[in-house]
Each structure stands twice: as structure tokens, then as C-alpha cells.
């Protein structure tokens, strides 16, 4: 009996060693330790032994069972480890394969420029004012000190609908409307929008384009306030190192009128092809609101003053992003638009 037991142990040990999977190992356990296995049979057969041998044999059987169980567990752990290892190896991927793209769309580059300017001025307490794209001659011209017959308002340059109605040629009528509506109160607004001129479309002209203008009206608004405001804008749009300069110019709705140049952001002022070797780039037009314009809107120009400025987002975008042809903004070629994906802080 004792020999039988040792033989059995040897057998089990061999089977355990030969098991290569958790399942095979389990089969061994069931075969030897299970209810129908030889060890159970041996225990059952103990009744036939003399009473004095039973405890000794019982202890032996238990001892063998325990040691087999221990070895089984040990083996099981090894096999499980191996299995996981194998699984991990099988699950290994090429991490350099392309990721699944997150399909985002993006702003049109002009919206990008307009929103940047809007947000800058909103942070300084400005409101955004909008108005109709089809305008009355009165708001587009007359209220802006461009009376009928003024040389600057040639029929050839504007899209008229009737003699008195046209597609607005600038966003300034929004200023005129706002001044009229404010009834003498102070104003701080930015007016973005589409405008139209009777130009043939080419690399630098578009019959439809965008403008963004600003207007501040109140007591004691000075030209120095205009200069300080434009200086901050230039630094926001083109970098903190930018310097500005004002040059006298002429617009019917402002007096004095100026054009603003910024120091060239490409060469820093030493002269390059972007600034046409001058070190300066013309960015916008501005001025102090003409007394006639204030008066027509119901302000007393002796007591109230204002400044206004206006620029073309197309020009800003062309300069900022190096776009060479204004038509790109309106052909909606996805290869163009999708280049303005990146966010900028």
C-alpha cells in the first residue's frame, strides 16, 4: 500500500511536469485528486486495513495529497504567468501606425482674424455693432460727410440697387446708425462685416470683402487716445515688439485723418520684400470723427469728440499668414481653409 502510494506520487509528479496549459493541469488534478481519482479510492480502501495501520496510512495519504496539491498550485501559477505573457505578446501593436483622426472643422481665416480683433476690443469694454449689408445712400454716404455729387462716391464704384439704395461700400454706415440711435450717449463699438465694391476680382481686389471698424464717441476723446488704442491693437495682432507710426491722410468722415503703419514684423524695420524696403507696413486708416458727421448724428461737436478706425481683415490675414491672393478667401478650397486649423493662444 505504501509502495502503491509512492508510485502514485511519482506518476502525478510526472503528469504535472508534462502539463503545458492550465487546462491540462486541471485535468491532472481531476484525474488524481478528484472524487473518482486513485487517491480518493485509496482513502475509501482504508476501511479494509487493520485498525492500527489506519492512522499511519491516513496521515501518509494526506501528506501525499497535500504535497501534490502544493505542486499543482505552483505549476498553475507558472502556467498562468506564461499564458498572460503569451497574450501580451499576441496583443502587441505597432504604435507608429496612424491614430484615428478626430475630424474637426475650422474657422474661415477671416473669421479667425475678425474674432481676434473683436475679442481684443471686448476686453477693453467695446460692444460689437452690426447693420444691414444693403444700405441707404444716406447712411453709406451722406451721414458720413459724403454728400450727393461728392467725387468720392462714383456710381461706377458701388453696386446700386436703386438711386437711393446700394450694397454698403464700407461698414461705416453701422457707425452712422449707432450714433443716430444712441441719441447723444457715449459709444464704444466695433463694427465687422461684409462690404461690396464694383471691382473686378483679381489677386488684390474682390467685389466682396470684409471690414472691421471701431468708433469711440464721448466727451474729451482725443487723438492721443486713438494712438494709444491702435498701438495696443498693433501689438496684439502682430507682436509686442511692434511700433506704430501715424501719417496724415484723408477720409471724408474724419478730420484729422491718418494712416497707421506698423514696423515690419518680418524684418523688424531694416527693410525687406514684405515692407517694400521701407521697414513699415500700412495697416489701417483712422481719424477724429468729422464734426459734420457728429452733427448729423445729433452730437454737438463743440462738446463731444470721437475717433474712428477701420481695416481690412483680408489684408491683415494676408500679412499675418503670408497669403498672396485675395481670391483664396472666397474660393473655399478645402486645401486652403483647412490650413487654419491650429489654435493660437
Partner 1 sequence: MLVSTNWLSNYVDWNELSIEELAEKITRAGIEVDGIIDRSFGMDHIVIGHVNSCVKHPEADKLHICQVDVGGEISQIICGAPNIAEGQNVIVARPGAVLPGGMKIKKAKLRGEESNGMICSLQELGIEGKLVPKAYAEGIYVLPNDVRAGDSALTHLGLYDRILEFDLTPNRSDALSMLGVAYEVGAILSKDIKLPEISYSASAEKAQDVLKLSVEAAEDNPMYVAKVVKNVKVAESPQWLQNTLMSAGIRPHNNVVDITNYVLMEYGQPLHAFDYDRLETKEIVVRHAREGEKMVTLDQVERTLHDHQLVITNGKEPVALAGVMGGANSEVYEGTTTVVIESAYFAPGSVRQTSKEVGLRSDASTRFEKGVDPNRVAEAAERAAQLMAELAGGEVLEGSVTFDELDKTPEKIILSPDYVNNRLGMKIAMDEMKTIMDRLQIPTELINGQLVMDIPTRRQDLKIKEDMIEEIARLYGYDEIPKTLPVVESTPGGLTPYQAKRRIVRRYLEAAGLSQALTYSLASPKDAQAFALETAPVTKLLMPMSEERSVLRQSIIPHLLDATTYNVARRNESIALYETGSVFLGIEEDGLPKEVEHVAAVLTGKWVHHAWQGETKKVDFFVMKGIVEGLFEQLGLLERLQFTKATVDQMHPGRTATVWLDDQSVGIIGQVHPTVQHQRDLQETYVMEMNLQSIMQTATEELLYEAVPRYPSISRDIALVVDRDTSAANLEKIIQQAGGKLLKKVQLFDLYEGKNVEEGTKSVAFSLTYFDPERTLTDDDVVKAHSKVLDALTVQANAQLRS
Rule CB under 5 A: which of 254-313 touch Zn ion?
264, 266-267, 272, 274-275
**Residues from 254 through 283 that contact partner 1 (CB under 8 A):** 255-258
Which strand (E) or helix (H) includes residue 85? helix 54-91
Pull the grid cell for residue 9.
Answer: 506520487
Out of Zn ion, partner 1, none, which partner does residue 272 contact, by CB within 5 to 8 A per kind? Zn ion
Nearest to 148 by CA among 159, 158, 156, 138: 138
Q: Does 198 bind partner 1 (CB under 8 A)?
A: yes
Q: Which does 161 bind (CB under 5 to 8 A by kind): Zn ion, partner 1, none?
A: partner 1
For residue 179, state whether it binds Zn ion (rule: CB under 5 A): no
Smallest Cα–Cα separation from 283: which of 111, 117, 129, 112?
117
Among 44, 98, 324, 344, the residue binding partner 1 under the rule CB under 8 A is 98
267 binds, among Zn ion, partner 1, none (CB under 5 to 8 A by kind): Zn ion
Residues 205-224 that bind partner 1 (CB under 8 A): 207-208, 216, 218, 220-224
Burial (0-12, 13-18, 19+ Cβ within 10 Å), 149: exposed
Length of the chain: 345
Per partner kind, with CB cut-offs from 5 to 8 A, the member of Zn ion, partner 1, none near residue 108 is partner 1
Sign of the alpha-carbon dihedral angle for 263, 264, 266, 268: negative
Residues 118-147 as x/- pattern, contact with partner 1 by CB under 8 A: x--xxxxxxxx-x-xxxxx-----------
The label of the residue with cell 496549459 reads: 21
Q: By CB under 5 A, is residue 5 in contact with Zn ion? A: no
Contacts of 174 (CB under 8 A, 6+ apart): 129, 130, 131, 189, 191, 193, 213
Residue 322 engages partner 1 in binding (rule: CB under 8 A): no
Residues 85-144 that bind Zn ion (CB under 5 A): none
Q: Give, rounded to a whole angstrom, the gap between the first and last alpha carbons of the chain.
A: 86
Judged by CB, which is closer to partner 1: 76, or 235?
A: 235
Element (H, E) at 131: none
Instruction: Report the relative pairing of strands 134-136 and 165-167 from DSSP bridges.
Output: antiparallel
Nearer to Zn ion (CB atom), residue 212 or residue 275: 275
Q: How many residues form the binding site for partner 1 (CB under 8 A)?
A: 86
CB of residue 273 to Zn ion, shortest distance in Å: 7
Q: How far is the CB of 88 from partner 1 (least distance, A)?
A: 22
Q: What is the DSSP string of 241-284?
A: T--EEEEEEEETTEEEEEEEEEE-TTTTTS--TTTTTSSEEEEE
Among Zn ion, partner 1, none, partner that 49 touches (CB below 5 to 8 angstroms by kind)? none
Please report whether residue 107 would count as binding partner 1 according to CB under 8 A.
Answer: yes
Instruction: Give me the least distance between CB of 305 and partner 1, in Å please.
Output: 6
Amino acid at each position: 500500500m505504501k509502495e502503491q502510494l509512492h508510485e502514485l506520487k511519482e506518476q502525478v509528479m510526472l503528469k504535472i511536469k508534462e502539463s503545458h496549459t492550465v487546462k491540462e493541469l486541471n485535468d491532472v488534478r481531476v484525474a488524481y485528486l478528484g472524487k473518482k481519482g486513485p487517491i480518493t479510492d485509496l482513502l475509501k480502501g482504508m476501511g479494509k486495513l487493520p485498525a492500527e495501520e489506519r492512522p499511519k496510512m491516513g496521515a501518509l495519504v494526506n501528506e501525499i495529497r497535500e504535497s501534490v496539491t502544493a505542486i499543482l498550485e505552483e505549476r498553475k501559477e507558472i502556467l498562468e504567468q506564461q499564458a498572460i505573457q503569451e497574450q501580451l505578446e499576441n496583443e502587441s501593436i505597432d504604435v507608429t501606425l496612424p491614430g484615428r483622426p478626430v475630424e474637426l472643422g475650422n474657422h474661415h481665416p477671416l473669421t479667425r482674424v475678425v474674432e481676434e480683433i473683436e475679442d481684443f476690443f471686448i476686453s477693453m469694454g467695446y460692444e460689437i455693432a452690426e447693420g444691414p449689408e444693403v444700405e441707404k445712400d444716406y447712411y453709406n454716404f451722406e451721414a458720413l460727410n459724403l454728400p450727393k455729387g461728392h467725387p468720392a462716391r462714383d456710381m461706377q464704384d458701388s453696386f446700386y440697387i436703386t438711386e437711393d439704395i446700394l450694397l454698403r461700400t464700407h461698414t461705416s454706415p453701422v457707425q452712422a446708425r449707432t450714433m443716430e440711435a444712441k441719441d447723444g450717449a457715449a459709444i464704444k463699438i466695433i463694427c465687422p462685416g461684409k462690404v461690396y465694391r464694383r471691382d473686378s476680382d483679381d489677386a488684390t481686389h474682390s467685389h466682396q470683402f470684409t471690414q472691421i471698424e471701431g468708433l469711440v464717441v464721448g466727451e474729451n476723446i482725443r487723438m492721443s487716445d486713438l494712438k494709444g488704442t491702435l498701438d495696443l491693437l498693433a501689438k496684439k495682432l502682430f507682436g509686442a515688439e511692434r511700433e506704430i507710426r501715424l501719417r496724415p491722410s484723408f477720409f471724408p468722415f474724419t478730420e484729422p485723418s491718418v494712416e497707421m503703419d506698423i514696423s515690419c514684423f518680418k524684418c523688424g524695420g531694416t527693410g525687406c520684400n514684405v515692407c517694400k524696403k521701407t521697414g513699415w507696413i500700412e495697416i489701417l486708416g483712422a481719424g477724429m470723427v468729422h464734426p459734420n458727421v457728429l452733427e448729423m448724428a445729433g452730437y454737438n461737436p463743440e462738446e463731444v469728440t470721437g475717433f474712428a478706425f477701420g481695416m481690412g481683415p483680408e489684408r491683415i490675414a494676408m500679412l499675418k499668414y503670408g497669403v498672396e491672393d485675395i481670391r483664396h478667401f472666397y474660393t473655399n478650397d478645402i486645401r486652403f481653409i483647412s490650413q487654419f486649423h491650429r489654435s493660437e493662444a
